A and B are shown apart, each in its own frame.
Chain A
Amino acid sequence: MTTASVPSPAARQPRVNKLDDYASLLGAGEIAELRALAARLEGRSIQMVNSTSVGGGVAEMLIRIVPLVEELNLPIRWDVITGGDDFFAITKAFHNALHGGGYDLPEESFQTFLGYSEQNRSRLRFDCDFTVIHDPQPAALVESKGASGGLWIWRCHIDVSQPHRRVWEFLAPYVARYDAAIFSSPAFARQLPIPQILFYPSIDPLSEKNRELEPEAVKEVLENYGIDGERPILLQVSRFDRLKDPVGVVRAYQLVKRYYDCQLVLAGGSASDDPEGEAVLAEVREVAGKDPDIHILDLPPWSALEVNALQRASTIIIQKSLREGFGLTVTEGLWKKKPVVASAVGGIPLQVIHKQTGLLSHSVEGTAYQIRLLLSNPAIAQKLGEQGHEHVREQFLITSNVRRYLTLFLHFLQKR
């Protein structure tokens, strides 16, 4: 077993890509179609509101979507709400509670939340034709709806299918005032009196984590971690969390290892500030024993390039989660034309169509069997990888998300 850490580089700024940069990946017709859709919305303005301008999946997505919409000649403004530490402690508690966890804060916390919402309502302008509010933190801003006559949409990026009852009872009346709500999976939605729309999460094919890499860059990363590029590499990229079942991945690898001379790479986020993560990591190390072909990598958040290289170098990508949100690591693997073996949970079956774009499994033994099947049938692995890539190209790229937003705005405009 080897353990390694990434040296601490400066945070890498995302490069702003132009629409035409995507044409080589998608075809000029697809970009022309986006322009045709946008032309129907000429003169209409858009506002995006969330709770942070850096870090987190929503900000990462808006950093990339906003310039693309601007390039389509649609005025778009991105506003970020502000609040004190007490506000963000409450919204963090909301987040956990909406995911099905408990809620220990006092009843006054709801008033504190609304107080900050009121401050943000005074500070921000709501004069656009379309206002998209992301996640629960700014959800109560909907009290400003009506001032401009615009359409208000709530984009919920989290799974609220089994929320803490009190927290949902508090938020639901605000959500019901929107014109529509967007969820990432039908399984994450709730019964609401407003239309519910499905938007899949997406990846940017030109980002640091997904862009094409030179073979030398991939080789360098493998060498840095002491991974042998000549033998098969099984990879799971996930933080060290029981729900990602890293111990199950090691056990599946050990079953495969009886027949194939392969390596396992578990690339996870830093566990130093997460007591449970430390415990899981210790369990993984214990199960891994002294096997020199198991590489446990503790990667910091700025390791996009390293993750990209590891995914491109791998023979098979595994996502053996016990529970999962959407599973963007699966999307990333599919985009890189890799065969994926993943659990049939959360948003994974939306991406991995069994025997078409990857293989689904339900147990350690099943995961091991599917890996063996792919290792002994490279042609099947290649075909699954290629079809997986096409599936992502059609459904899970950032340009698809731009198209969905434009279509949504058009749809509601027609209905008026």
Chain B
Amino acid sequence: MKSDEPFEFVTASYLIRIEGGEAENLAGLEQGIEKCSDASMFYHTFQSLGRHHFLNEGFSNDFAQWVLGSCNRPALAERLASLDIRDYVSLGELRTDLTRILGEYCGANPREATQAAFEKFYFCETLEEEVALGKARTLKEFRDGLETLPHASLQFHFLTSRLRLHLRTNDFSHWLDEALGLKRLARSVERIDIYTNTLDGVRERILELIERETGR
């Protein structure tokens, strides 16, 4: 099966820009999230999950980790961590939910909201450079490309694709469905849980699914 629309493997190399904002307590974190840039939201959520992909339990985003590690508020950290970034196709929606959770907590616990954290939270943001790595027109070419794809590229196609596509899917599933008509394979790939898998685990799982598809 060959597609007229090739899959274009891209890698995204990221720079971290120090934004200058910082938070010393939970109230400061809430205010910081309200006013930080979209690039900063991206860095501390989508990109954070990608940076820590090798942790397949208990890590979701930088905000939750700071609330746990520097503010020692496990219940709040758990609520912030429970937001699944794959449910979001815009950073604005994610920002709204994060500030809502923090606002509720700070409103109910005013003393804790202003208690100094062990370490400050520093807002940073992502600067992204995309570089083309190659193209695939068939499932076999796609499989071969996937096999040696760097982590940054896996993250780009599997995780952050939602913000580009504005769809609740990833680049791989989108292409498998739209270009090759492999709906079931596309659905199975989309159902892989990045929160309980490493990026290498995601890669292996997709390769297994392709093997199963081609062996069928």
Contact = CB atoms under 8 A, between A and B. Distances in A.
A390 B54 contact: yes
B63 to A, nearest CB: 14
Nearest to A390: B54
Contact of A33 (B11, B52, B119, B124): B11
A89 interface: no
Nearest to B133: A36
Given A33-B150, A344-B118, A198 B16 contact: yes
A163 B18 CA distance: 19
A185 to B, nearest CB: 8
Interface in A8-32: 27-30, 32
A181 B52 CA distance: 26
Contacts of B153: 29, 33
Contacts of B58: 355-356
Nearest to A405: B15
A354 B54 contact: no
Given A353-B52, A353-B59, A353-B65, 13 more contacts: A29-B148, A29-B153, A30-B150, A33-B11, A36-B11, A40-B131, A186-B18, A187-B122, A189-B20, A198-B17, A394-B54, A407-B15, A414-B129
Contacts of A345: 119
A37 B54 contact: no
A106 to B, nearest CB: 34
A302 B17 CA distance: 36
B101 interface: no
Interface in B24-39: none
B106 interface: no
B8 to A, nearest CB: 13
A196 to B, nearest CB: 4
Contact of A394 (B15, B51, B70): B51
A355 B22 CA distance: 24
B68 A354 contact: yes
Closest 3 A/B residue pairs (Cβ): A186-B122, A390-B54, A198-B16
B69 A404 contact: no
B115 to A, nearest CB: 15
B18 A36 contact: no
Interface string A209-236: 0000000000000000000000000000
A380 interface: no
Contacts of A30: 150-151
B216 to A, nearest CB: 28
A134 B69 CA distance: 33
Interface size class of A (residues with CB under 8 A): 35 or more
A411 interface: yes
A141 interface: no
Nearest to A414: B129
B185 interface: no
A145 to B, nearest CB: 21
Interface in A32-69: 32-33, 36-37, 40
A404 B15 contact: yes
B127 interface: yes
A304 interface: no
B120 interface: yes
Interface string A352-375: 011111001010000000000000
Interface string B41-63: 00000000001111100110000
Interface of B: 11, 13-18, 20, 22, 51-55, 58-59, 65, 68-70, 118-120, 122, 124, 127, 129, 131-133, 148-153, 198
Contact of B127 (A354, A355, A411): A411
Nearest to B11: A33
Contact of B55 (A27, A195, A387): A387
A354 B69 contact: yes
A37 B133 CA distance: 9
A32 B133 CA distance: 9
Contact of B13 (A28, A353, A360, A403): A403
A356 B59 CA distance: 8
B15 A186 contact: no
A395 interface: yes
Given A186-B124, A349-B69, A411 B18 contact: no
Nearest to A348: B119
B199 to A, nearest CB: 10
Given A355-B58, A360-B69, A27 B150 contact: yes
Interface string A392-416: 0011000000011011101100100
Contacts of A354: 68-69
A338 to B, nearest CB: 16
Most buried by A among B18, B58, B65, B198: B18
Nearest to A33: B150
A32 B198 CA distance: 21
A395 B16 CA distance: 12
12 contacts: A29-B150, A33-B11, A196-B17, A196-B20, A197-B15, A198-B124, A344-B69, A357-B55, A360-B69, A362-B118, A387-B55, A410-B13
A407 B17 CA distance: 12
Contact of B69 (A29, A196, A353, A411): A353
A406 B129 CA distance: 10
Most buried by B among A29, A360, A403, A406: A29
A391 interface: yes
